[in-house]
A and B are shown apart, each in its own frame.
Chain A
Amino acid sequence: EAGVTQFPSHSVIEKGQTVTLRCDPISGHDNLYWYRRVMGKEIKFLLHFVKESKQDESGMPNNRFLAERTGGTYSTLKVQPAELEDSGVYFCASSQGTVRRNTIYFGEGSWLTVV
């Protein structure tokens, strides 16, 4: 079974540019999450989709971040325009979301460096 896949794995962009990160969750997982880890800090929640609907985007830093999940399948996270403090690792994760099958599985992350 394929795991959570993310693209690109690494990205270096200049301040002010736009970057779009993509995530393909595990097949059958309705719940899709975006998390971020900045240098030296713990992993922090950004937002949560159930199928195509945003359930919670309370962790999104500001309106420069836009997440979408077309048709309840893959998701994209766009940062526009990127700032230096956006550098970090962006993890996508998914889960089935039932009472006893709520384990969250992570992708390998998209490492973003803004220069």
Chain B
Amino acid sequence: EDQVTQSPEALRLQEGESSSLNCSYTVSGLRGLFWYRQDPGKGPEFLFTLYSAGEEKEKERLKATLTKKESFLHITAPKPEDSATYLCAVQPLSGGYQKVTFGIGTKLQVIP
């Protein structure tokens, strides 16, 4: 069974204090790994899709990286508006596009 473990569960940073969120996964062949941002009371907002080990993608202060066992979401010089829950999800090669397994998320709080 596919598994996604995110750590830490919660992270509190000072504004400007860079850090990384971890997503460890177990899947029988990876079709894609997704990162989403979720604000309170909202649906997950798509950030990145990574397809193969070594791939990196960037968006503003966020950079996602992928290895064969885990993905990192690096946050450089975060601002209070980066506060949200960050979700990781994996989509295996076997089965259809619906076979997506989510992690529980990392709740990030950036303090001014």
Contacts and interface: CB of A to CB of B under 8 A. Distances in A.
Nearest to A101: B49
A81 interface: no
B46 A48 contact: no
B43 A45 contact: no
Contact of A102 (B36, B97, B102, B103): B97
B42 interface: yes
A103 B98 contact: no
Contacts of A107: 43
Contacts of B89: 43
B97 A104 contact: yes
A106 B103 contact: no
Q: In the complex, which of the residues B42, B51, B91, B102 has the most CB atoms of chain A within 10 Å of its own CB atom?
A: B102
Interface string B37-75: 000011111100101000000000000000000000000
A98 to B, nearest CB: 9
B42 A109 contact: yes
A4 B44 CA distance: 11
B104 interface: yes
A31 B91 CA distance: 15
Interface string B14-36: 00000000000000000110101
Contacts of B42: 108-109
B104 A97 contact: no
A1 interface: no
20 contacts: A31-B97, A31-B98, A43-B44, A45-B98, A45-B99, A45-B100, A55-B96, A55-B98, A56-B99, A97-B97, A100-B51, A102-B49, A103-B49, A104-B34, A104-B46, A106-B46, A108-B41, A108-B42, A108-B43, A109-B42
